[in-house]
A and B are shown apart, each in its own frame.
Chain A
Amino acid sequence: MSLLTLDRLTIRFGGLVAVNDVSFSIAEGDLFGLIGPNGAGKTTCFNMITGVYRPTSGDVLFDGSSIVGLRPSRVCARGIARTFQNIRLFSALSVLENVVIGAFLRHVSTLAEAIALLPRALKETDEQVIQAMKILHTFALAQHADSRAADLPYGVQRRLEIARALATRPRLLLLDEPAAGLNPQESVSLVNLIRTLRDEMGQTVLLIEHDMKVVMTICERIVVLDHGSVIAKGAPEQIRNDPKVIEAYLGEPV
């Protein structure tokens, strides 16, 4: 049973067809790659899945039901979390606070309870903080817990963004170019991190990536977009040798 299914997804911006008739589906536990040249519509796909854009036609099915038309926060509550291509942290807040906000969508205490400092609200906040600290420990961010998010080095900010997304306890994690701007060493540790997420926590991951080494080493299935349309689907070996992909994107066999 597939977790996420894109069904003939299309979006037009005026006369421009940014994503055209894209269909693929992701099963629970997949490490799925979405690649393509610049402007192929990868991030637009992410934005349609997470509810930032509303597709012109087509459907997004998550766990069997359509999530088209839900606002992003509702999509997130259904269990799809994402990171951004250009890091979007809450820069003036501390690292810990960033992750605590990820846990906010599961809150049960009301704002009135929080203002009156009723025990349930306090206890819930404590629990959220403890959960967040656990996540920070898994991501080796615990020593940065009190520093401002904007003060962190770039690579650590990338890690924090993934940590924040995971704090929402998603069933599907969307990573938009997580290795962008990382040096080779950081990139390797990121690959290991994503592997760990999948192997030990069973996290389903959909990943946009430009770094071919990253994509080919960790993704088990890959979809290639070009000019908004799917030009190839399959395992890394198939993609590597697909003449259309080589022509559109890779330039030479990798």
Chain B
Amino acid sequence: MPGITRITEVWHFALLLIFTILVSRNMLQTSHGLAFLSVREDELAAEATGVNTTRTKVTAFVLGAALAGIAGAFFAHFEGFITPQHFDMNASFIILTMVVVGGTGSITGAALAGTALKLLEEALRKLPEISAIDLIAYLVAAAAMLLLMTALRQPSSRPSPKGRGGGRCSTAWFVILCIAALAAGVGAIFKALAFGAGVAHPGPHPKGEGDVMSGFLMVTGALAVLAVVGGLGFGLRRSPEDPFRVPFKALGYTGCVGLLAAAYLVWNVEASVVIRGGIGLILVGAAVSLLGYPAGRASMVPFGMLVAGFLGVVILQLVVGALLHAIPFVEENLKDTMYSPSNLRMAVFAVSLVIVMLVRPQGLMGHHEFSWSFLSRTLGMKTKETSIHS
């Protein structure tokens, strides 16, 4: 339907956003919102407690449809035309992903996830094309590491000699992981040296990129190698029955340095200052919260496993890629096939959705509305008696 007058300005959307958040927040603040939540939690119990579930569900539907309708009207007057293709399966899927990833029941979560996924979509548009073989290699590597990590998280059936903590992962898995991490570290250093050489002797790499990349890879790569080798040595001497904790912890600390280096890297990327600053701040914040708070330090081992997972994906991808190139059939058929990342965005969203559903089914921010009380708890302040304690 063409020929709609363009009267919507961008700030109209900001206004609508504020209105939407206000409506949802106000509703959740009163007992009406609680009635909605009760239907989500347990329909039978809600009905038995006097909440008319049918009415509540219809109200939720009407409210959601009304807000979506307003947004649609704004959209039509912004674009100047609308077609059914604007609202295909992809659109509904993206919206659903935003809500589920952010946390069903958390307004902050939905807003943050919406922003993040939209930024991701834009970022994918800027990435260079990727060859089919590389893509397959990455997917295989990621799937393999995911399986490996899941296996590591399962407590081993073998009883531990001391009955605590031991046998968190079997030795075979750990050796494989260490070899992968070591190889990744060595590879990273070699790559960093190559980049460094590229800077010294101007070649295909632009100077700035070579600088940043080499610094980043050099620092984290060297630290990863040190962490794994040193940590394994320490771990084997300190607690032979469970030698995995120390290297994973060390890898976790390496990962923190990596986060800082990545923040520096992002700051040097060509993008708007808001995006650069935002992502950089998130990375620095993650590193600080991991290093600075007891809870963060306590989670260093799982974080180390995460870092190991990333390193593992990088190195496995190189191996799998080389293997794929060696297969004549694959090489012949897929040599020239390239994918543009922005066409893969639905797949990226689907994968992120699946991962969130597996790791934290209630979404990143959980079922509950975000509150700052965790901050006062972390800082050890006494929480203010809320008005409900009268």
Chain A residues packing against B (C-beta within 8 Å) = 50, 52, 71-74, 76-77, 81-82, 84, 88-93, 96-97, 100-105, 107, 109, 111, 114-117, 121-122, 124-126, 128-130, 133, 145, 164-165, 167-168
Considering the chains assembled together, what is the distance between the CA atoms of A116 and B367 in angstroms? 24
Q: In the complex, how many angstroms separate the beta carbon of A161 from the nearest chain B beta carbon?
A: 9
- Does B38 lie at the interface of the complex (its beta carbon under 8 Å from any beta carbon of A)? yes
Contact A115 B27 (CB under 8 A): yes
- Does B26 lie at the interface of the complex (its beta carbon under 8 Å from any beta carbon of A)? yes
Question: How many residue pairs at the A-B interface have CB separations less than 8 Å?
Answer: 123
Contact B388 A133 (CB under 8 A): yes
Q: In the complex, how many angstroms separate the beta carbon of A194 from the nearest chain B beta carbon?
A: 19
Question: Binding site of B, secondary structure by majority: helix, strand, loop or mixed?
Answer: helix
Segment 40-65 of B: residues with Cβ below 8 Å from A: 41-42, 44-54, 59
Contact B31 A100 (CB under 8 A): yes
Our pick among B41, B51, B388 for the contact of A91 (Cβ within 8 Å) is B41
* 21 contacts across the A-B interface (CB closer than 8 A): A73-B48, A84-B44, A90-B41, A90-B46, A91-B41, A92-B367, A93-B34, A93-B37, A93-B38, A93-B41, A101-B46, A101-B49, A101-B51, A104-B51, A105-B50, A109-B32, A114-B31, A115-B26, A117-B26, A129-B390, A133-B389
Our pick among B30, B49, B52, B368 for the contact of A164 (Cβ within 8 Å) is B49
Q: In the complex, how many angstroms separate the beta carbon of A172 from the nearest chain B beta carbon?
A: 13
Q: In the complex, how many angstroms separate the beta carbon of A90 from the nearest chain B beta carbon?
A: 4
Q: A100-B31, A130-B390 are in contact. Are A90 and B51 (CB under 8 A)?
A: no
Contact B35 A101 (CB under 8 A): yes
**Residues of B within 8 A of A (CB-CB), count:** 34
Pairs A-B, 5 closest by C-beta atoms: A105-B50, A90-B41, A76-B50, A88-B45, A114-B30
Closest residue to B383 on the A side, CB-wise?
A146
Please name all residues of chain A whose beta carbon is closer than 8 Å to the beta carbon of B388 when the two chains form the complex: 96, 129, 133, 145
Inter-chain pairs besides A82-B48, A101-B51, A165-B49, 11 sampled, C-beta below 8 Å: A52-B48, A73-B50, A76-B47, A90-B38, A92-B41, A92-B362, A101-B34, A104-B38, A107-B32, A115-B23, A130-B390
Chain B residues packing against A (C-beta within 8 Å) = 23, 26-27, 29-35, 37-38, 41-42, 44-54, 59, 105, 362, 367-368, 387-390
Our pick among B23, B26, B31, B45 for the contact of A90 (Cβ within 8 Å) is B45
Q: In the complex, how many angstroms separate the beta carbon of B382 from the nearest chain A beta carbon?
A: 14
Contact B26 A73 (CB under 8 A): no
Contact A125 B49 (CB under 8 A): no
Our pick among A73, A117, A165, A167 for the contact of B51 (Cβ within 8 Å) is A73
Considering the chains assembled together, what is the distance between the CA atoms of A211 and B26 in angstroms? 46
Q: A73-B47, A97-B37 are in contact. Are A88 and B42 (CB under 8 A)?
A: yes
Q: In the complex, how many angstroms separate the beta carbon of B188 from the nearest chain A beta carbon?
A: 43
Our pick among B23, B37, B48, B362 for the contact of A76 (Cβ within 8 Å) is B48
Contact B390 A133 (CB under 8 A): yes
Q: A52-B44, A105-B50, A133-B388 are in contact. Are A97 and B34 (CB under 8 A)?
A: yes
Q: In the complex, how many angstroms separate the beta carbon of B25 from the nearest chain A beta carbon?
A: 9
